[in-house]
Amino acid sequence: MKNKHMLIYLTATVILGVTLIILGIYYTTWKEVKITLASDYNELFTNEELDRKGHTEELSEYTTDVSAAYQNKDGSKTLYVYSSPIRYLNSMGDLTMIDTRIANVRDKQLRKAGYIYTVADSDIKSFYPKKLNEEKGILIKNTSLLSENECSYEFGINTSKSKLGWYTERENFICQDTNAIQYKDCFDNTADIYFYPSSSGTNCEISFNRKPNENKITFWLKADGNTFDLSIEPGGYIVFKENKSQEIKAVIQKPLLKDKNGEISYDNSIKLSSQGGGLYLLEFCFDSDADFVNATAYISFEMRRESQPDNALYSNEPDLKYAYLRNYSVIGNSDNYGIGRLLIRYKFAKYFDLKADNIQSCEFHMYSLNQGYEKLELLSVLEDWCSVTGNWNSSYKTGKITSAASPVGNQITFDITNETKKWCDDESGQAEHNGVLLKTANENNGTNYIILSNDSTLYNNYTEIKIKE
């Protein structure tokens, strides 16, 4: 009887072991996810948000590459003007909404080359491979009809074992649900990498489980040396300049790091070294005191579009060239930058036939990565400024406070109704062109906000204008 029980026990153990092995193989076997995209998707608002806002139908007469408008239930209209393009010109010459959802690659040549996922609809396309390794990486292409030539670059990681791309859902750097392509156990098994499309390229988030070697991670980059000159600007980011025109075509932003408690570290850097033949090594280096356990790094790989410029001014870096290219600014008084302020321009009064008497309200929406403890102010700027050459030493003249906000949470809203009405009455357009200056009220040492700028793809800054008939 004892032997019989032992036999039953051994048989059950074997069956359980085989079952676990089969389940393990099933759950770890890679397969491409066939994605079905909902046809009623709206990149800007969910159906619930449209209903809550009282929007009934979209108004095509306000449609541009940076704007959308809706008729409201109460008879008014709401115009949204975004700081970066929300639409692009398609091959038929029509404006099409950028759709940053992930889709399956359908192009046979790209699939043969190993790419399986891409952005749903955009002129700046990102392609994600089945396997990430020293030969195959993320490909970004600018196919815009407004560009004279299609330009692209590719980047990846050096690894002895290829990393498979898994389609997954997670919260991104600002805690929004997003679908992403995950490559597991990268950088000597210290982190997983997540990529997801943005309106200007691809966002990269690196989820650490422990500290990487020497507090840095390394990518390789391939860019056509006959097309681009690459350099690191004083702002700490990499720019791609076209050889002949020296026009900036692409930007790689320096990393931000968020620890397990949500604290943001921005004192990070990039090192760039040419390996010849259009091959480069990128080292993303982090603060020596950083806590990497359950921390997330955020890096943006971008192509450039024309957008509404803003310009960060820092007292410790008075000659910061091309500061408008950075996708965040430190506003307030920090040890790294000194006093930081942000100049912001708008375009809506100039490009839309708005009458001051018809404007019920106007709000400017932006996003702070951290929650500070000091009031933020917008002051009218009284003279012209340049987003390329402007710096702290320029000492631009400012007027009265036009709006103030005490941030609650991360989203910040400024009421700029009165200022907007003034811009509508200014036929020259110069007042709106001068824009406003953002600062903390007292600029106390150690009190600052990390503000996502007009070119950020994590949160698209926008102006919301309610118009009465």
Q: Distance between CA atoms of 194 and 207, rounded to whole angstroms?
A: 8
Residue 139 has pLDDT above 90, yes or no: yes
354 Cβ contact partners less than 8 Å away, ≥ 6 residues apart: 348, 420, 424, 465, 467
pTM, two decimals, is 0.91
Q: Distance between CA atoms of 427 and 332, rounded to whole angstroms?
A: 34
Q: Which band of pLDDT confidence, cut at 50, 70 and 90, is reported for residue 23?
A: very low
Q: Distance between CA atoms of 457 and 46, rounded to whole angstroms?
A: 18
Q: How many CB atoms lie within 10 A of CB 190?
A: 17
Say if CB 158 and CB 139 are below 8 A apart. no
Share of the chain above pLDDT 90, in %: 72
Q: Distance between CA atoms of 388 and 399, rounded to whole angstroms?
A: 23
When pLDDT is averaged across residues 330-335 and rounded to a whole number, the result is 93
When pLDDT is averaged across residues 282-295 and rounded to a whole number, the result is 94
Residue 28 has pLDDT above 90, yes or no: no
Q: What is the pLDDT of residues 209-258, one digit of tens each?
A: 999 999 999 999 999 877 889 999 888 899 999 888 888 899 999 999 99
The DSSP result for 367-416, as a single string, is EBSS--SS-EEEEEE-S---TTT--GGG---EEEEEEEE---SSEEEEE-
Q: Which of 34-48, 152-166, 312-326, 431-445 has the lowest mean pLDDT?
A: 312-326
Main-chain dihedrals φ then ψ at residue 59, nearest 5 degrees? -105, 110
Q: Which of 173-177, 221-225, 266-270, 272-276 has the lowest mean pLDDT?
A: 221-225
Main-chain dihedrals φ then ψ at residue 397, nearest 5 degrees? -75, 135
Q: Which band of pLDDT confidence, cut at 50, 70 and 90, is reported for residue 323?
A: confident
Main-chain dihedrals φ then ψ at residue 5, nearest 5 degrees? -65, -40
What pLDDT, on a 0 to 100 scale, did the predictor assign at position 363? 96
Residue 436 has pLDDT above 60, yes or no: yes
Q: Between vectors from CA 424 to CA 462 and to CA 56, what angle results, nearest 5°?
A: 50
Residue 161 has pLDDT above 60, yes or no: yes
Cα distances from 285 to residues 297, 317, 458, in angstroms, run 11, 20, 21
Q: Where are the domains of the chain?
A: 49-84+311-467, 88-306
Residue 339 has pLDDT above 80, yes or no: yes
| Distance in Å from the first CA to the final CA of the chain | 92
Which of 199, 260, 204, 179 lies closest to 461, judged by CA? Answer: 199
When pLDDT is averaged across residues 170-197 and rounded to a whole number, the result is 97
Which of 292, 179, 273 lies closest to 219, judged by CA? Answer: 273
Q: Which band of pLDDT confidence, cut at 50, 70 and 90, is reported for residue 172?
A: very high
Average pLDDT, the chain: 90
Query: 67: which 2 tokens?
Result: 């704007």
Give the distance between the most distant pair of CA atoms in the chain: 101
Main-chain dihedrals φ then ψ at residue 438, nearest 5 degrees? -100, 130
What pLDDT, on a 0 to 100 scale, did the predictor assign at position 1? 54
The CATH code belonging to domain 88-306 is 2.70.98
When pLDDT is averaged across residues 292-302 and rounded to a whole number, the result is 97
Q: Which band of pLDDT confidence, cut at 50, 70 and 90, is reported for residue 10?
A: low
Q: What is the pLDDT of residues 354-384, one digit of tens each?
A: 999 999 999 999 999 998 789 999 999 999 9
Say if CB 226 and CB 232 are below 8 A apart. no
What pLDDT, on a 0 to 100 scale, did the predictor assign at position 27? 46
Q: Distance between CA atoms of 57 and 278, rounded to whole angstroms?
A: 49
Q: Which amino acid is at 207?
A: S
Residue 50 has pLDDT above 60, yes or no: yes
204 Cβ contact partners less than 8 Å away, ≥ 6 residues apart: 138, 193, 194, 195, 298, 299, 300, 301
Q: Which band of pLDDT confidence, cut at 50, 70 and 90, is reported for residue 260?
A: very high
Q: Which of 114-118, 177-181, 209-213, 241-245 has the lowest mean pLDDT?
A: 241-245
What pLDDT, on a 0 to 100 scale, did the predictor assign at position 228? 87
When pLDDT is averaged across residues 55-82 and rounded to a whole number, the result is 95
When pLDDT is averaged across residues 74-102 and rounded to a whole number, the result is 94
